[in-house]
Amino acid sequence: MNISDRSSSQNPVRVPASYSKIGQVLLFVGIVLTVVSFVSNLKHAFFGLIMTLTYVTTIGIGAFFWVGVEYVSSAIWSTPMRRPFEFLAGVIPYLIFLALPLLFNIGTVFEWAHRGAFKSDPSMLLRAPYLNVPFFVVRAVIVFAVWLLFYFLVIRNSKLQDKSRDQNLTTKNIRLSAAFMPIFALTITVFAIDWLMSLVPDWFSTIFGVYLFAGSAVASMAFATLLIVLLNEKNNFPVKLTPDHYYNLGALLFAFLNFWAYIGFSQFMLQWYGNLREETLWFIPRIHGSWAIVSIVLVLFQFIVPFFALITRDSKMNPKRLVFMSIWLLVAHAIDIYWMVMPVYNTSSATFGWSEIAFPVLSVGIILTVFGLKGRKNNLVPVGDPKLKRGLEFHI
């Protein structure tokens, strides 16, 4: 029985129920911890919710970006592994529910949302037409709606192809993905500016959107790599992926963690060299006191350790190494988001409380629950994709 027959038979291979159960347990614990954080400190909890929104968004939209890259580039090697990326992107329809509590309490975390916030600083008046509550809400709704629209169209075509085997659906998704790429670049930049950069409204960076994109690309690839390798090594994947498939996953992880470091260093170096108040004010809290320790830990976790751990060809093909480094990079992504958000809440010292415990548990719980549910209802491989057979025969 070939892969198409097996996956479309009466007993197609699905994601094991344990993934969904683990996700649901984490989701429940994360909700309880979030409630506790809101009871103990309302403002701190809303900052925690921004971290949760950012973590889930970067994994979901990052995974959808990789789906689009595969279609646009007509990549073959990744076709058997596309479905785990599609399942991770399944969180996109739920992002608005994470954003709603923040949209109804914008003034709790965003200084610019207070009436008269710009009067004390005349230079900020130029930003008032952009940084105001009605326009912020409109932008948020548009960004989430656009992501949802492209997600619905592309995933619908992908799933329809499982039954119809219609190759025209691949062509449609190539066109949709080509249209989505510039829209993705614009919308993730808007998300980065609105939800993260505007936490310090008098600071700006022209590459902050690229910085968030780089972190999103690494984290979403790490999450997908973790799940793909675990499923394959435990014989829960419809076919046996080879070390050559693993190599490409590891190579993309390696490439984009270097890209993240390049963008992060460029942003820091250019603003340090320019030495302008409106640019350096964002970094000053992050290079002093306990925040400086967090900054060093971030560089170690997100770049130096994974750089040397994934630098060799063999390491990119080693499933145990890939699983370990994927978990490592997901932790590093949580530290990165914490580093971007929480110095605004407490500029003097790194803070740690219920919100910092709740946000990674809730984020992973949401993602794993959605992944498990999607994986229980759909084929684990796109059995109708005309590139699937060549993807299974891929060799470097």
Is the confidence at residue 5, as pLDDT, over 70?
no
> What is residue 12's DSSP assignment?
-
> What is residue 126's DSSP assignment?
G
pLDDT recorded at residue 47:
97
Tens-digit pLDDT profile for residues 279-315: 899 999 999 999 999 999 999 999 999 999 999 999 9
- Alpha-carbon distance values, 99 to 95, 143, 195, 250, 365 (Å): 6, 12, 10, 32, 17
Tell me which residue of 66, 76, 72, 61 sits closest to 175, measured CA to CA.
Answer: 72
Is the confidence at residue 352, as pLDDT, over 70?
yes
**How many angstroms separate the CA atoms of 95 and 238, rounded?**
30
pLDDT recorded at residue 12:
65
pLDDT recorded at residue 279:
87
Q: How confident is the model at residue 43 (pLDDT cuts 50, 70, 90)?
A: very high
Q: How confident is the model at residue 103 (pLDDT cuts 50, 70, 90)?
A: very high
Average pLDDT over every residue of 99-119:
87
What count of Cα atoms within 13 Å lies in the side-chain half-sphere of residue 138?
6
What 3-state class would DSSP assign to 104?
Answer: coil
pLDDT recorded at residue 8:
47
Tens-digit pLDDT profile for residues 49-72: 999 999 999 999 999 999 999 999
How many other C-beta atoms can be found within 10 angstroms of the C-beta atom of residue 365?
A: 23
Q: How confident is the model at residue 9 (pLDDT cuts 50, 70, 90)?
A: very low
pLDDT recorded at residue 326:
98
Tell me which residue of 395, 329, 330 sits closest to 364, measured CA to CA.
Answer: 330
Across the chain, mean pLDDT equals 93
Q: How confident is the model at residue 134 (pLDDT cuts 50, 70, 90)?
A: very high
**How many angstroms separate the CA atoms of 335 and 338, rounded?**
5
The more confidently predicted of residues 142 and 11 is 142
Q: Are 50 and 21 in contact (CB under 8 A)?
A: no
Is the confidence at residue 3, as pLDDT, over 70?
no
Q: How confident is the model at residue 240 (pLDDT cuts 50, 70, 90)?
A: confident
Tens-digit pLDDT profile for residues 136-186: 999 999 999 999 999 999 999 999 999 999 999 999 999 999 999 999 999
Percent of the chain past pLDDT 70, that is, above it, reads 96
pLDDT recorded at residue 86:
97
> What is residue 78's DSSP assignment?
T
Average pLDDT over every residue of 254-270:
96
At 219, list the tokens: 């984290």
